[in-house]
């Protein structure tokens, strides 16, 4: 199917062609005609499936410049809000709509000005509530509400904020909910605030046939040395190293950099300016290793990822699938490599409950043990601050 067959206006068909969109993705093909018809939609769709364009194109086709705020998109993180706003701007360049990204951690005054003159607002729930309490947001002309990555938004504790925001919006509107998983909270929101929603399920965007999933089981003190060895041996392209906490992200990044690996960190403790700088470096190819927490990485549009390294193992198979979905996209191959130590075994058992994953155990290779500097708060008898250089072989 072509974009020209989706009943989009000609100027939008020309816009997507100019942006290099060749054919609609599965979720775009299914969602766009339904959304153009005015129906509420619940779409189960992963990051990377093309979901932003799936809801942005119908909204752009119906929005009118100069008529006040007509669309509110709620997103769980600042990064996703920026990403969605960026995509709206690209897709609406032939219609001259004003789009504002609204989130915390930055000066609120420019946002107040943007809210007065924008047709489309992309916001995180906390900052949106702040604007509502200040009476700086006028949604009387709102026609569209989008809940993007709803499951993550609720997992992060925003469900009450979302409910509070929805109660201030016009009842006569079109509501669109996009979520990787459909859990009880998603169902609750849909039953309370949506009108006979049309349910869509996207095909997995990750080609599991092109994705090789491996894991290694090592001693705790050998984790970083093995990661460094694998990066050196695999010679990956753009890669993401997932860690469980902000402090772990910083520690791993510092040690990679100390070992001449061009790595950058991203997590919720960084300012928005820092996050934007990191993503520019990643997208321009200045750095090839991004070390991140799940929350920071969720919603980031990072393309052409060759490897995902799980330095810490996620707690569920769902989160694991979110991580590995960063690679092996659009017909390209990829690897997902998990490095286990004793503390990861319980989480990994939960991941392996999904029998469809096909994660293969690998023999631990010989590798050089390198110096690993840990922050003072991580000192313990078992993990001295500096592990001296040496060689390790799994026996």
Q: Per-residue confidence of the chain (395 residues) as pLDDT tens digits?
A: 889 999 999 999 999 998 878 788 888 999 999 999 999 999 987 666 788 999 999 999 999 999 999 999 999 988 889 889 999 999 999 998 999 999 998 899 999 999 999 999 999 999 999 999 999 999 999 999 999 999 889 988 999 999 999 999 999 999 999 998 888 999 999 999 999 999 998 655 555 668 899 999 999 999 999 999 999 999 998 999 999 999 999 999 999 999 999 999 998 777 767 877 888 888 888 899 999 988 767 656 677 889 999 999 999 887 888 788 778 765 678 899 999 999 999 999 999 988 888 899 999 999 999 988 887 655 443 444 444 444 344 33
Residues listed for the chain: 395
Q: What is the pLDDT of residue 23?
A: 84
Range of the domain at 359: 208-392
Residue 330 is classified by DSSP as: T
Q: What is the pLDDT of residue 329?
A: 66
User: How many domains is the chain built from?
Assistant: 2
CATH number where 176 lies = 3.40.50.300
Picking from 173, 201, 229, the residue at the C-terminal end of a domain is: 201
Residue 202 is classified by DSSP as: P
* CA separation for the pair 309, 263 (Å, rounded): 13
Q: 155-161 long-range CB contacts below 8 Å, 24 or more apart?
A: 156/76, 156/295, 158/76, 158/125, 158/126, 159/185, 159/189, 161/125, 161/126, 161/128, 161/129
Do both 178 and 216 map to the same domain? no
Element (H, E) at 41: strand 41-44
Kindly state the tokens that stand for 33. 């005609």
Do both 194 and 222 map to the same domain? no
Residue 170 is classified by DSSP as: -
Picking from 201, 218, 237, the residue at the C-terminal end of a domain is: 201
Q: What is the pLDDT of residue 276?
A: 77
Do both 254 and 361 map to the same domain? yes
Q: What is the pLDDT of residue 387?
A: 44
* 3 state DSSP class of 145: strand
């Amino acid at each position: 199917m072509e974009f020209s067959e989706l009943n989009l206006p000609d100027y939008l068909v020309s816009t997507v062609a100019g942006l290099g969109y060749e054919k609609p993705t599965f979720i775009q093909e299914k969602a766009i005609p339904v959304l153009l018809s005015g129906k509420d939609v619940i779409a189960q769709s992963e990051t990377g499936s093309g979901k932003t364009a799936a809801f942005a194109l119908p909204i752009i086709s119906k929005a009118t410049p100069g008529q006040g705020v007509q669309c509110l998109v709620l997103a769980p993180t600042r990064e996703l809000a920026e990403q969605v706003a960026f995509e709206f701007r690209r897709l609406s360049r032939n219609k001259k709509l004003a789009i504002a990204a609204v989130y915390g951690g930055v000066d609120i005054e420019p946002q107040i000005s943007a809210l007065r003159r924008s047709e489309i607002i992309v916001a995180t729930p906390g900052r949106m509530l702040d604007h509502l309490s200040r009476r700086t947001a006028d949604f009387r002309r709102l026609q569209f509400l989008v809940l993007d990555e709803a499951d993550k938004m609720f997992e992060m504790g925003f469900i009450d904020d979302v409910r509070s925001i929805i109660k201030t919006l016009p009842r006569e509107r079109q509501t669109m909910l996009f979520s990787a998983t459909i859990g009880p909270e998603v169902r609750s929101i849909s039953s309370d605030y949506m009108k006979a929603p049309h349910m869509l399920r996207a095909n997995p965007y990750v080609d599991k046939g092109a994705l090789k999933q491996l894991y290694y089981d090592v001693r705790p003190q050998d984790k970083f040395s093995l990661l460094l060895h694998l990066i050196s041996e695999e010679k990956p392209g753009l890669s993401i190293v997932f860690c469980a906490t902000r402090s772990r992200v910083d520690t791993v990044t510092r040690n990679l950099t100390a070992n001449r690996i061009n790595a950058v960190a991203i997590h919720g403790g960084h300012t928005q300016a820092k996050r934007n700088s990191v993503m520019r470096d990643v997208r321009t190819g200045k750095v090839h290793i991004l070390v991140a927490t799940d929350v920071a990485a969720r919603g980031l549009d990072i393309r052409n990822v060759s490897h995902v390294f799980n330095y810490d193992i996620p707690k569920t198979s769902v989160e694991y699938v979110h991580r590995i979905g960063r690679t092996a996209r659009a017909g390209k191959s990829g690897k997902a490599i998990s490095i286990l130590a004793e503390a990861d075994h319980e989480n990994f058992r939960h991941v392996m409950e999904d029998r469809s994953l096909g994660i293969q155990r690998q023999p631990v290779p010989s590798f050089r043990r390198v110096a690993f500097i840990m922050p003072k708060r991580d000192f313990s008898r078992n993990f001295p601050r500096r592990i001296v250089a040496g060689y390790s072989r799994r026996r």
